[in-house]
């Protein structure tokens, strides 16, 4: 798969997701420096200074739980956070 330098990280995650049958939020991108944070999704590959190879992994399923129970954080929400 090839990517152009003016492609955003979000678009790259989308293309990778189509190839590996995953949603964009399930994909971790790794550069030579480490994990590429989600806040870079709006950056182009040039702006994020990405050169060379990327590695990908699939994130584990995101757990869901009710946030409040009786006006306080529920035990399940505390366990997730």
Q: What is the pLDDT of residues 33-46, one digit of tens each?
A: 899 988 999 999 99
- State the alpha helices, DSSP H only, in 1-81: 9-20, 75-80
What are the domain boundaries of the chain?
A: 9-80
- 11: pLDDT strictly greater than 90: yes
* Mean predicted confidence (pLDDT) in 70-81: 80
Q: Give the long-range contacts of residues 47-52, CB within 8 A, separation 24 or more.
A: 48/9, 50/9
The mean pLDDT of the chain is 86
9-80 adopts what CATH topology?
Answer: Ubiquitin-like (UB roll) (3.10.20)
pTM attached to this predicted model: 0.69
Q: Residue 36's closest CA among 5, 19, 13?
A: 13
């Amino acid at each position: 798969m090839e990517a152009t330098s003016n492609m955003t990280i979000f678009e790259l995650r989308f293309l990778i997701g189509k190839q590996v049958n995953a949603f964009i939020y399930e994909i971790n991108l790794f550069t030579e420096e480490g994990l590429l944070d989600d806040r870079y999704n709006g950056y182009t590959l040039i702006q994020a200074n990405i050169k060379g190879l990327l590695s990908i992994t699939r994130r584990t399923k995101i757990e869901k739980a009710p946030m409040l129970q009786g006006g306080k954080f529920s035990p399940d929400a505390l366990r997730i956070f």
